[in-house]
Structure 1
Amino acid sequence: MKILVTGGAGFIGSHIVEALVRRGHRVRVIDNFFSGHRGNLAAVKADVEILRGDCADPAAARRSVRGIEAVFHEGAIPSVARSVAEPLRCHRANGTATLTMLLAARDAGVRRFIYASSSSVYGDTPTLPKRETMEPRPLSPYAAEKLSGEHYLRIFHRLFGLETLSLRYFNIFGPRQDPSSPYSGVISRFTTALLAGQTPVIYGDGQQSRDFTYVGNVVDANLRALTARGLDGEPVNVAAGRRVVLRALLSALARELGRPDEARHEPARAGDVKHSLADVSRARRLLGYRPRWDLEGGLKKTTAWYRESHRLRDRRSG
């Protein structure tokens, strides 16, 4: 199958690209390289067509979908904090780009469109676990942008027959998550600080909790979405289905890396939710999805990658 991955040089997108290539698909990537890196595709660069372009640009979008059968739309600025600081810029990357890609996909006869949404759409809904039937209560421009994308996918299925699915990602972590990026997740920031001998920063009291999901589980869900039947634009949670308190997470990382278990606390950030936990039963029914990697296994793979990256940086700087 000929497949397009937007944001394919990024953290999650590059893992999806690798998995698709391993399964024999022909893969095209479009990325503006604002936060993605060509190095993320080093293992498959000979087998992937790479386009530099902006998904919010109609001409670039049309060029990217020519001859494509399915789209994985991973391109975004995945940051609550950045969306609060720069809502218009983030809306272009997250909202306008999604609609532009949907229009291009419809006009090019693309059959299936899989969208990277976010657990942030649930906002401060107090009930746990989060189920797709709950009313969204977004707290940030980023969450509102992701929710608008879900609505567009639902509408494009109903009006134009495009097979669509929104995957609500819950706190993804793993190798290639750039710790220097302002969009980096808490696990990459904690790990990098610990390896550098610094004290990690926790925003708030550290008692907030998250459903941390290893990137391998996200790849598995996307691959299943490529062949699943009955896609009708409705959202599906992709998570581990386990809640972990941030302070406990830091302790686990400190033990894994043999570093002091210390934290520096800063005020809580605007737009952040307090607790998050997913019900993944719909993903199990629709996709046959079951998390293959638990937190401990994912942390081992992730810290091993960061250790190696840290050693390589030390060699280059020495």
Structure 2
Amino acid sequence: MNRGVAFVTGGTGFIGSHLVEELLRRGYREVRCLVRKELRWLEGLDIVPVRGDFSRIDVLWEAVRDADVVFHVAGVTRARDWATFEQGNITATLNLLGTILEANPNVRKVLITSSLAAVGYCPGGVATEESPLRPISAYGRSKALMEQALRAPRADGPPFAELLPIVVVRPPAVYGPREADIYTFFRTVSRGLCPIVGSGRRPELSLVHVRDLVRGMVDAAESDVTTGQTYFIGSEQFYSWREIRDATLKALGRRALTVHIPPFLVEPIGALVELAGRLTGTYPPLNREKAREIRHACKMCAVDKARRDFGYRQQIGLEEGIQETIAWYRQQGWL
């Protein structure tokens, strides 16, 4: 089936590259991808690279001018300073939407990728689309402000949400081939040590395989009822860390020593790891901001609305997904 032209930002990254593969699988006539430097995971795929970034309005104009669907996946997930989050997650999104409004106001759908982190503190433990946004981390705050900016009046007119067919998706934790942050957990377990915060017995995490996520994203973009809506796209089951540990050990085919970390130590550990990263010139996946999220932010979300509106269902179980992911890491020499 010819589904027309799609433009993807963030296509060279983890989620974006899987999204591009899903679009090609579904028969989109042309898939354009914003590429700043290297093609990375897009190498060898039948895509049209668009060379540039969000500061190049002329480049964005040509990319969106006759696109049927725009998928905005690009964003900053880790940064030491607020200015980087603001530029990468808020300003870039508004630049893109402003260009679409001028160049292609009749676009069929614009999908914006947010995050469960935008919700932050959630007393009930399971976020829904009606949960207030009370982010805990700078990353979560940037995504929450991005969402709010979609619906805020602009200096020169009504909100973008009233002028463009926008749908927002909020993934929880995402894993799968090419993922590089949760990967550090798998690497640690492969070395014989499994750190778990608290007892790890109770379900406390939505964890979605990247292929389930991108399938849901495309379904949301292709649905006629999703305009103006926000959706969580995650796992239908909530997982405990013990379940994740057991699935990981089975996939690795080995044993590991489980180390239970008292919750009150998570933030000090995050600060120490971040300090060590400064000494080596890196900003590690576990840092003060991430530790604060682990300790206090909501990590589970309901997918009932996505199931009701466009038939979303989780298709990849935890054991199958981790088995595939570990196999990929091994094939690539990551493990």
State the TM-score, normalizing by the size of structure 2: 0.80
Show the counterpart of 1:281.
304
1:270 aligns with 2:292: yes
Show the counterpart of 2:211.
216
Of 256-265 and 20-29, more deviation after overlay is shown by 256-265
Q: Aligned partners of 1:149 and 1:232: how far apart in 2?
A: 17
1:279/1:57 CA distance change after superposition, 3 Å: same
Q: Aligned partners of 2:204 and 2:55: how far apart in 1?
A: 34
Q: Please list the CA deviations of residues 75-120 of structure 1 after superposition, one character each: whole Å capped at 9, or x if unmatched.
A: 01123xx3xx221112111111111111111111133110111011
Show the counterpart of 1:246.
241
Q: Aligned partners of 1:254 and 1:58: how far apart in 2?
A: 48
Structure 2 residue runs without a partner (length 5+): 152-158, 268-290
Show the counterpart of 1:15.
18
Q: Aligned partners of 1:128 and 1:144: how far apart in 2?
A: 19
1:5 and 1:72 in contact (8 A); partners too? yes
Q: Aligned partners of 1:262 and 1:104: how far apart in 2?
A: 53
1:189 and 1:200 in contact (8 A); partners too? no
- Secondary structure at the residue paired with 1:267? helix
Q: Aligned partners of 1:189 and 1:292: how far apart in 2?
A: 25
Q: Aligned partners of 2:228 and 2:120: how far apart in 1?
A: 21
**Count of residues in Structure 1 that have an aligned counterpart in Structure 2:** 292
Of 207-216 and 100-109, more deviation after overlay is shown by 207-216
Deviation at 1:274, TM superposition (A): 4.9
Q: Aligned partners of 1:209 and 1:258: how far apart in 2?
A: 25
State the TM-score, normalizing by the size of structure 1: 0.84
Show the counterpart of 1:64.
63
1:192/1:15 CA distance change after superposition, 3 Å: same
1:233/1:147 CA distance change after superposition, 3 Å: farther
- Secondary structure at the residue paired with 1:146? helix
Q: Work out which of the two has the higher radius of gyration on C-alpha atoms and give 1 or 2.
A: 2
1:194 and 1:259 in contact (8 A); partners too? no
Deviation at 1:200, TM superposition (A): 5.2
Show the counterpart of 1:232.
227
Q: How does 1:121-132 map to 2 (within 5 A)?
A: 121-132=118-129
Show the counterpart of 2:95.
100
Show the counterpart of 1:78.
77
1:40 aligns with 2:41: yes
Q: Please list the CA deviations of residues 168-214 of structure 1 after superposition, one character each: whole Å capped at 9, or x if unmatched.
A: 1011110111x3xxxx2x2x11223344x263555x54648310000
Q: How does 1:150-299 map to 2 (within 5 A)?
A: 150-154=147-151, 155-158=159-162, 160=163, 162-177=164-179, 179=180, 184=181, 186=182, 188-195=183-190, 197=191, 199=193, 204-205=197-198, 207=200, 209-263=204-258, 265=261, 267-268=266-267, 269-272=291-294, 273-299=296-322
1:52/1:193 CA distance change after superposition, 3 Å: farther
Q: Aligned partners of 1:131 and 1:111: how far apart in 2?
A: 26
1:91 and 1:145 in contact (8 A); partners too? yes
1:271/1:278 CA distance change after superposition, 3 Å: closer
1:206/1:86 CA distance change after superposition, 3 Å: farther
1:31 aligns with 2:35: yes
Q: How large is the RMSD of aligned CA atoms in angstroms? A: 2.3
Show the counterpart of 2:6.
3
1:117 and 1:166 in contact (8 A); partners too? yes
Q: Aligned partners of 1:222 and 1:248: how far apart in 2?
A: 26
- Secondary structure at the residue paired with 1:210? coil
Show the counterpart of 1:112.
109
Identity, in percent, stands at 28
2:89 and 2:142 in contact (8 A); partners too? yes
Deviation at 1:57, TM superposition (A): 4.3
- Secondary structure at the residue paired with 2:114? strand
Q: Which runs of 4+ in 1 moved over 6 A?
A: none
